[in-house]
Amino acid sequence: MKTQVGIIGGGPSGLLLSQLLDLQGIDNVVLEKHTRDYVLGRIRAGVLEHGFAGLMREARCGKRMDTMGEIHEGFYIAHDGTRDRIDLKGLTGGNSVVVYGQTELTRDLYEGREKMGGKVIHNANDVKPHDMATRAPYLTYHNGTGTVRIDCDYIIGADGFHGISRKSIPRDKIREYERVYPFGWLGVLSNTKPVSPELIYAKHERGFALCSLRSQTLSRYYIQVPLTDTVDDWSDDVFWAELKRRLPKDVAKDLITGPSIEKSIAPLRSFVAEPMRYGNMFLAGDAAHIVPPTGARGLNSAASDVYYLYHAMLDHYRNGDDSGLETYSEKALARVWKGQRFSWWMTTLLHSFPDSNPYDNRLQQTDIEYLLSSEKAMASLAENYVGLPF
Ligand code: FAS
Ligand code: PHB
């Protein structure tokens, strides 16, 4: 088989790029190792920057997002028994975010691929990129009956943090930067009315908590937990009681609890691989970078990689102009690192660190007090949260 762009990974990054390229007549194939249901079964992000929402519309996959997604013009920071609102719209001259689950977004992308007859191959086992540093790279995978080879002009590694693409790059051609946090997030999904119409990020001495949502009947809650915890340590009752302890009393009293329909613990890490290119293979999304979810940057950092790659491929195939491909890594990393900084800053601001001393704690308290007392400081938070320009 021959294609112009071979994409490893059928998550949001791979599917969005595939859809955008196909709409411009650029032939591509997506190789996904799992089934579609398995991919859709993962509960992950919930907040989309306006830039990501725009890309979904450009990919003709934004209709359900615009119908079911919620425009959020602000969120709350809870601390010391009270809460302050961050007025995203007012602080950014009118920008906002869309609250819409990654599961639904990925479903929309799969449906968009299907409508166009896009080539998304599931259960692609043992996918391997070959000859990336040559002008004739290719992919191989096992389809249950034998090995299939796909010759490409370019390979995109959109296979997430644990994928094969980044790991296929010679160690002396890639640099990795990492920070692992000494805690994780226990997330719960419940068919309950959200406690607040807007998100609440709660800083508490017992640990961080987040009240989010997927719709007015589907709530998403998180609490910071030690890395040693497992889901079995957290019955629904124990979870709800702990969440209430970490929220201001006037919020906790309104919390509607119910059975969890999904419960999982995600470790928190910051990670960047540089450069995001090796020969004719380009890395995009979690394959190249990971952030703690505190700043809701993970999925949104993937969006700007896709945006840059999409335009670079268009310039190459349309005008024979390779400047976009040549500058992709540098351009993508400039925005990736700003997302890293923001996610690290929000995580440091709002979580309890087991090894912090009294001085650290006073400094953290001062950080929150300064932030909420300064319109300029809140404007800086807001411009990062709604999304810096691509
Ligand atoms: P993904 O990991 O989503 O997709 C990669 C795809 O490649 C997967 O479908 C995988 O099956 C496939 N793949 C892997 N190896 C392969 C191989 N060898 N061959 C073929 N296919 C292969 N972000 C937020 O903004 N907010 C959040 O709250 C949030 N919560 C998260 C919770 C968890 C547990 C995780 C892991 C991530 C979370 N994220 C969150 C970040 C997440 O949303 C990512 O940013 C987003 O999934 C990135 O999309 P992709 O780059 O497509 O990577
Ligand atoms: C979510 O709804 O899953 C969510 C929202 C905001 C975040 C992280 C996760 O910062």
CATH of the domain at 370: 3.30.9.10
The token duo for 371 is 């932030």
Q: Is residue 245 part of a domain?
A: yes
Q: Are residues 340 and 213 in the same domain?
A: no
Q: What is the model's pLDDT at position 42?
A: 87
Nearest-CA residue for ligand 1 atom 40 is 45
CA 250 / ligand 1 centre spacing (Å): 36
385 pLDDT band, cuts 50/70/90, is: very high
Q: What is the model's pLDDT at position 43?
A: 84
387 pLDDT band, cuts 50/70/90, is: very high
Count of beta carbons in the 10 Å neighbourhood of residue 70: 16
Q: Are residues 163 and 281 in the same domain?
A: yes
CA 262 / ligand 1 centre spacing (Å): 17
Q: Is residue 258 part of a domain?
A: yes
Q: Among 42, 47, 102, which is best to mutate for testing ligand 2, by the most ligand atoms less than 8 A from CB? A: 47
Q: Are residues 297 and 263 in the same domain?
A: no
Instruction: State the chain's mean pLDDT as an integer.
Output: 97
Q: Are residues 281 and 133 in the same domain?
A: yes
Q: Are residues 40 and 122 in the same domain?
A: yes
Q: Are residues 148 and 169 in the same domain?
A: yes
Q: What is the model's pLDDT at position 190?
A: 98
227 pLDDT band, cuts 50/70/90, is: very high
For residue 275, say if its preceding peptide bond is cis, omega within 30 degrees of 0.
yes
- CA-derived radius of gyration, the chain: 21
Pocket of ligand 1 (CB under 6 A): 8-14, 31-34, 39, 44-46, 102, 124, 127, 158-160, 163-164, 266, 285-286, 293, 296-300, 302
Q: Is residue 83 part of a domain?
A: no
Q: Are residues 197 and 343 in the same domain?
A: no
DSSP 8-state symbol, 353: P
In residues, how long is the chain?
Answer: 390
Q: Are residues 261 and 191 in the same domain?
A: yes
pTM above 0.75, yes or no: yes
Q: How many domains does the chain have?
A: 2
| 159: pLDDT strictly greater than 90 | yes
For residues 253-273, one letter each, b for 16 or more C-beta atoms within 10 angstroms of the residue's C-beta and e for the rest, the string is: eebebeebeebebeebebbbb
Q: Is residue 191 part of a domain?
A: yes
The token duo for 268 is 């928190």
Q: Are residues 123 and 249 in the same domain?
A: no
Q: Are residues 142 and 226 in the same domain?
A: no
| 326: pLDDT strictly greater than 90 | yes
As a whole number of angstroms, the distance between CA 84 and CA 91 comes to 14
Count of beta carbons in the 10 Å neighbourhood of residue 352: 17
CA 100 / ligand 2 centre spacing (Å): 10
Q: Are residues 375 and 311 in the same domain?
A: no
pLDDT in tens, 258-311: 999 999 999 999 999 999 999 999 999 999 999 999 999 999 999 999 999 999
Domain range for residue 67? Answer: 5-72+95-178+269-348
For residue 292, which phi and psi values (nearest 5 degrees)? Answer: -65, 140
User: Between helices 12-23 and 50-58, what is the axis angle to 10°?
Assistant: 40
Q: Is residue 77 part of a domain?
A: no
Residue (of 290, 302, 281, 289) closest to 170 by Cα position:
281
DSSP string computed for 67-104 = HHSEEE--EEEEETTEEEEE-HHHHTTS--EEE--HHH
Q: Are residues 114 and 144 in the same domain?
A: yes
Mean pLDDT for 83-101 is: 97
Instruction: List 47's β-bridge partners, or say none.
Output: 99
Q: Is residue 300 part of a domain?
A: yes
Question: Would you call 223 exposed, middle or buried from its count of C-beta atoms within 10 A (0-12, 13-18, 19+)?
Answer: buried
CA 298 / ligand 2 centre spacing (Å): 10
Question: Would you call 17 exposed, middle or buried from its count of C-beta atoms within 10 A (0-12, 13-18, 19+)?
Answer: buried
Mean pLDDT for 9-13 is: 98
Mean pLDDT for 96-112 is: 96
